Structure 1
Amino acid sequence: MEQVSGSKTFLLGILTPSTHELDNILNHTIPELAKSGYVEGKNLKIESRLGKLEDLANMAEALVALQPDAIITVGPPATHAVQSATTDIPIIMGFMGQDPVAAGLAKSLAQPGGNVTGTLILGQDLEGKRLQLLHETLPERKRIAVLLEPGNKLVKAAMEEDLLGLDLVVFTADNPKSYPNVFTRMRTEGIQALLIAPSPAFFRDTEILVKLALENGIPTMCQWPEMAEAGCLLGYGPNYRELRRQTADYLVRIFKGESPGSLPIQQPSQIEFAVNLKTAQTLGISVPISILMRTDLVIE
């Protein structure tokens, strides 16, 4: 473990709508910080806020009032809430789900220029690849549902560029109470497979979504390999551990005095593909050998 000179205690804020994401930050990012000498209870204090989307603005203002040295945000709503409350305190986006330049959070990915930097994990290339892998796994299934949070324009744009000749049907949901009705509509409309778009809320609700998909006989492609471990048929996305290390690395650099505006907004370099054969068996699906040969993780 590295040693940090000086007697300063650093204050780190965290704002997220997801219990799961908060747990991951506390269990993975904070230990990475400790390796660089920033240890909770020694020279690091953490103030976290967890709440519903409609509460994020007030929580952001409360965090900013504490004048932390940096704030980690998870998802676009939390990032916008904090950025609206401060243009001075460094903000580290975790898993930003929309183009931060188009959203007015940064001047460019290479030189953000303001107080916001972090990790961008969504892109039309990833959505297209997820759709392609789902199609290759289930080539006879053409009527595909895409589950989005309302306002997810980035994924919608990727879907509009679909070149696979699929019949894509968009469904939206913004809370667990709406999920059962959405899946009932999918079954009624003859949906044959489902792409669950990247979203902190959907990640949080993986178990609920997986249960409903299995009950309705719908195979799923999800955003993280971890979601395949939880029961999605397929998972394709960034290496979670790498993202946590990136967040911790940027925090260390900011604690040492670097400006977030000069730290490029990063995109993941490691993408992993997982297949859940237990789910495949439950749904009566035979996964092609060509798909299995390309996986990084097979759940049996």
Structure 2
Amino acid sequence: MSHAALLFNPESAPYGPFYVQAAHQMESRLGLKIAGASVRSGPGIAAAIETAARTGGGLVVLPDGGFFGTHSTMAIALLAQRRVPAIFAVRFYASNGGLMSYGADLTQQFRDGAGYVDRLLRGADISTLPVQFATRFELVINMKTARALGLTVPNRLLLDAELIE
């Protein structure tokens, strides 16, 4: 792969440009040219995928789960049809046909959130509760999709994966 398109919706992910900036700092280490793609609709996602397919040797990165969730069926189908590898931020996408995902374990985050709710219901002052960040991340690889794309997943990556579909 020689380049990657990092998709983001500026309305639902105003931090998208910061992701792109951080990705640019990694270009030489990764050996990839990173392009940010601001998308606001299903047709915008489709156009970004079509561009990645036309240029070849590319990867699509979809870091924001919320906005892309409403367009996931279309995006995953188009990625498969156009044979474009993609990585998502949430397990749901890899489990539903995307190539892979890497992101916070949402089940664990909901469990952690329940502890916060319990503390609040017991009378804790919200201003005294510490900010918590995700502590568990998961890599999910969909081998069926990898085979359909003609990709060989390195053993090192398979060993790091929490789930292989």
Whole-angstrom CA distance in 2 between matches of 1:272 and 1:290 = 15
Which of 47, 50, 54 is the equivalent residue of 1:188? 54
Amino acid at match of 1:291: L
1:147 matched residue in structure 2 = 7
Secondary structure at the aligned position of 1:245 is classed as helix
1:75 matched residue in structure 2 = none
1:138 matched residue in structure 2 = none
Task: Provide the aligned C-alpha RMSD in A.
Answer: 1.7
2:131 matches 1:265: yes
Secondary structure at the aligned position of 2:117 is classed as helix
Quote the offset at 1:289 in angstroms: 1.4
Quote the offset at 1:277 in angstroms: 0.5
Quote the offset at 1:149 in angstroms: 1.5
Which of 52, 76, 95 is the equivalent residue of 1:229? 95
Q: Which runs of 5+ in 2 are unaligned?
A: none
1:26 matched residue in structure 2 = none
Amino acid at match of 2:134: P
2:34 matches 1:174: no
1:200 matched residue in structure 2 = 66
Give the number of the structure whose residues are more often helix, by fraction: 2
Which of 15, 20, 25 is the equivalent residue of 1:156? 20
2:115 matched residue in structure 1 = 249
Provide closer, same or farther for how the CA distance between residues 157 and 264 of structure 1 changes in structure 2, counting only shifts above 3 A: farther
Whole-angstrom CA distance in 1 between matches of 2:24 and 2:89 = 19
Identity of aligned residues (%): 22
Whole-angstrom CA distance in 2 between matches of 1:155 and 1:199 = 14
Secondary structure at the aligned position of 1:251 is classed as helix
2:150 matched residue in structure 1 = 284
Whole-angstrom CA distance in 1 between matches of 2:61 and 2:127 = 34
Per-residue Cα deviation, 1:146-170 (whole angstroms, up to 9, x for no partner): 1112232331232122132311122
Secondary structure at the aligned position of 1:293 is classed as helix
Q: Answer whether contact 1:143 1:192 (CA < 8 A) is retained.
A: yes
Q: Which runs of 5+ in 1 are unaligned?
A: 1-140
1:60 matched residue in structure 2 = none
Whole-angstrom CA distance in 1 between matches of 2:4 and 2:43 = 22
TM-score (norm 1): 0.50
Count of aligned residue pairs for this structure pair: 159
Whole-angstrom CA distance in 2 between matches of 1:263 and 1:227 = 32
Q: Which moved more, 1:178-187 or 1:257-266?
A: 178-187
Quote the offset at 1:236 in angstroms: 0.9
TM-score (norm 2): 0.86
